Amino acid sequence: MVDENLKKLVELYEVGELLHRSLLLVDDDVPNLDVLSAVLDSDYKVFQVDSGAEALKVVETTPIDVIISDQRMPEMTGVELLERVGKSHPDVAGIVLTAYTDSAAIIEAVNRAGAFRFLTKPWEADDIRVTVAQACAHVYQRRAIARLVDIVSVRNEELALALQDLEEAQDRMLHMERLGTMGRLTSGVTHDVRNFLMGLALLEEECHEQGVGGEMKEIVTVSLAGLRNLMGTLEAMRQFARGGTVEVSLKPVAPADVIKDSLTVAKMDLEFRKRNVDVRVQDGLPQVNGDRQRLVQVMVNLIRNAVQATQPGQLMTIAAITDLDGHVLLSVEDEGKGIPADLVDDLFEPFSSSKGDEGMGLGLYMARLTVESHGGSIEYQDRPGGGARFQVLMSPAERSGGMGIQ
Ligand SMILES: Nc1ncnc2c1ncn2[C@@H]1O[C@H](COP(=O)(O)OP(=O)(O)OP(=O)(O)O)[C@@H](O)[C@H]1O
Ligand SMILES: [Mg+2]
């Protein structure tokens, strides 16, 4: 009677037992109950009660598959009983017995109580057996479908979670893959840049020997500084792609020198020269324990971002000061368009960029790694009135040995 495919699904999903093979017989005429029970009790566990109120109690405490109730009972009719049971236990099937061809009760039984079947008295034993078996199959089906729907929805959630894990693993792999590619690429580029650098260094020497000065010498010197900085960046990228860290060699460094070198490199960018740049270096700043070249790279990255976020003529402030706790703050502030809202949370993570092909999204990531390798920190704030402010926070170098003060 039960669909074979459904049975297979029930087995496959290990739904468990669905039928208790238990029946509840309800009739105010107790001898009727005994007769009915005699027909069914060899195949089912049979419970008997003589009123609707009693039946409701049994349903609350005992697992029941099918209720067979007489229609005409004082206080509560069979239809009323099934209607109430249907509200709390919709999976239980009801069969109504009625002594007459009482069409009103029959229609009610089907419509209001959702009764599975009605049977007229006097009933035939075989009819009862077949009807109860069909009712049980109906109950099985209802419960099976409900449980399967539950299981499938849980599995769906599990699947969604597993899928999310997979996606994250894939992202990590992609990340490692990109880093590997970056490492290989930078090795190649470093080679070319080194050749360039050597050529330019020779040119500088030549200028010196030949007594070439003025603008020509200036161009060579500035270009050389830029190339050295680029070499440093490439080297840091290569190291980082290998081990995920940036090596630094720490020595006492004057923050003013970091700013000076950063400006030398930044000035190679024509766009930078079109900005209204305000440089503020506090007098008497303590030295920091730092890798001058790496710190310059950090500042150059911040400055480059600020240039890219602003228009010609807009203000950019580059500063080195101490805060109230005596930390040294190196900052770059601009009145540009500010950080896109969707990037704020991942700003210092790799490959977070709004620049498409124009940016790798590595500048701030490398800056953070570098600053953290110095034991410092880098933070971002919205600039009041629009724009962005990045600041690098570092502890002053130990003052012992007289190396701390400029
Ligand atoms: N001063 C700034 N103003 C506005 N947005 C900024 C600023 N600095 C960084 N951003 C935003 O943060 C993103 C990440 O910056 P990051 O320097 O890490 O990468 P990038 O500049 O996109 O690429 P890369 O530096 O690798 O060439 C940028 O794409 C930009 O959207
Ligand atoms: Mg950048």
Q: State whether the beta carbon of 63 lies less than 6 angstroms from ligand 1.
A: no
Tell whether 393 is covered by a domain: yes
Tell whether 70 is covered by a domain: yes
Higher pLDDT, 106 or 159: 159
Q: State whether the beta carbon of 340 lies less than 6 angstroms from ligand 1.
A: yes
Index of the ligand 1 atom closest to the CA of residue 336: 3
pLDDT of amino acid 11: 85
Rounded Cα distance between 231 and 190, Å, is 7
The token pair at 311 is 């228009």
Index of the ligand 1 atom closest to the CA of residue 340: 31
Question: If you count them, how many residues does the chain have?
Answer: 406
The token pair at 72 is 């005409």
Tell whether 176 is covered by a domain: no
Question: What pLDDT band is residue 81 in, cutting at 50, 70 and 90?
Answer: very high
Total domains in the chain come to: 2
Higher pLDDT, 340 or 179: 340
Asked if 197 and 214 count as a contact pair (C-beta separation under 8 A), the reply is no
Looking at 90, 124, 156, which one is the last position of a domain? 156
Tell whether 226 is covered by a domain: no
State which residues form the domain around 52: 4-156
Residues 8 and 113 reside in one and the same domain: yes
Asked if 291 and 249 count as a contact pair (C-beta separation under 8 A), the reply is yes
What is the whole-number distance in angstroms between the Cα of residue 324 and the centre of ligand 1? 29
What is the whole-number distance in angstroms between the Cα of residue 340 and the centre of ligand 2? 14
Task: Return the SS3 of 139.
Answer: helix
Tell whether 221 is covered by a domain: no
Tell whether 378 is covered by a domain: yes
pLDDT of amino acid 403: 37
Which residue's alpha carbon is nearest to atom 25 within ligand 1?
Answer: 363
Rounded Cα distance between 7 and 192, Å, is 71
Say which CATH number the domain at 351 has: 3.30.565.10
Say which CATH number the domain at 58 has: 3.40.50.2300
Index of the ligand 1 atom closest to the CA of residue 361: 19
Rounded Cα distance between 260 and 247, Å, is 23
Which residue's alpha carbon is nearest to atom 31 within ligand 1?
Answer: 354
What is the whole-number distance in angstroms between the Cα of residue 394 and the centre of ligand 2? 21
Tell whether 140 is covered by a domain: yes
Inform me whether the pLDDT recorded for 67 exceeds 90. Answer: yes
The string of pLDDT tens digits covering residues 249-292 is 899 999 999 999 999 889 888 899 999 999 999 999 999 999 99
Rounded Cα distance between 402 and 406, Å, is 9
Residues 387 and 252 reside in one and the same domain: yes
**Residues bordering ligand 2, an ion, CB closer than 5 Å:** 305, 363
Q: How many CB atoms lie within 10 A of CB 358?
A: 8
Asked if 351 and 340 count as a contact pair (C-beta separation under 8 A), the reply is no
Kindly tell me the number of DSSP H helices and DSSP E strands found in the chain.
Answer: 11, 12
Name the strands in the sheet holding 117-120, side by side, starting at the edge strand that comes first in the sequence.
45-49, 22-26, 66-70, 93-98, 117-120
Inform me whether the pLDDT recorded for 85 exceeds 90. Answer: yes
Nearest ligand by distance to the CA of 314: 1
pLDDT of amino acid 101: 64
Which residue's alpha carbon is nearest to atom 19 within ligand 1?
Answer: 361
Q: State whether the beta carbon of 352 lies less than 6 angstroms from ligand 1.
A: yes
Nearest ligand by distance to the CA of 366: 1
pLDDT of amino acid 399: 54
Index of the ligand 1 atom closest to the CA of residue 337: 4
What is the whole-number distance in angstroms between the Cα of residue 210 and the centre of ligand 1? 43
The token pair at 182 is 């970056």
Looking at 119, 136, 156, which one is the last position of a domain? 156
Rounded Cα distance between 162 and 165, Å, is 5
Q: State whether the beta carbon of 353 lies less than 6 angstroms from ligand 1.
A: yes
Tell whether 67 is covered by a domain: yes
pTM: 0.57
Rounded Cα distance between 48 and 33, Å, is 7
Which residue's alpha carbon is nearest to atom 1 within ligand 1?
Answer: 306
Residues 134 and 32 reside in one and the same domain: yes
* Residue to mutate (ligand 1; options 343, 364, 392; most atoms within 8 A of CB): 364
pLDDT of amino acid 231: 85
Question: What pLDDT band is residue 390 in, cutting at 50, 70 and 90?
Answer: very high
pLDDT of amino acid 318: 98
User: Which residues have C-beta within 8 Å of that of residue 357, sequence separation ≥ 6?
Assistant: none
pLDDT of amino acid 282: 96
Looking at 92, 127, 156, which one is the last position of a domain? 156
Q: State whether the beta carbon of 354 lies less than 6 angstroms from ligand 1.
A: yes
Q: Report the candidate in 249, 258, 396 with the shortest Cα–Cα distance to residue 319.
A: 258
| For helices 214-243 and 292-309, angle between their N-to-C axes, nearest 10 degrees | 100
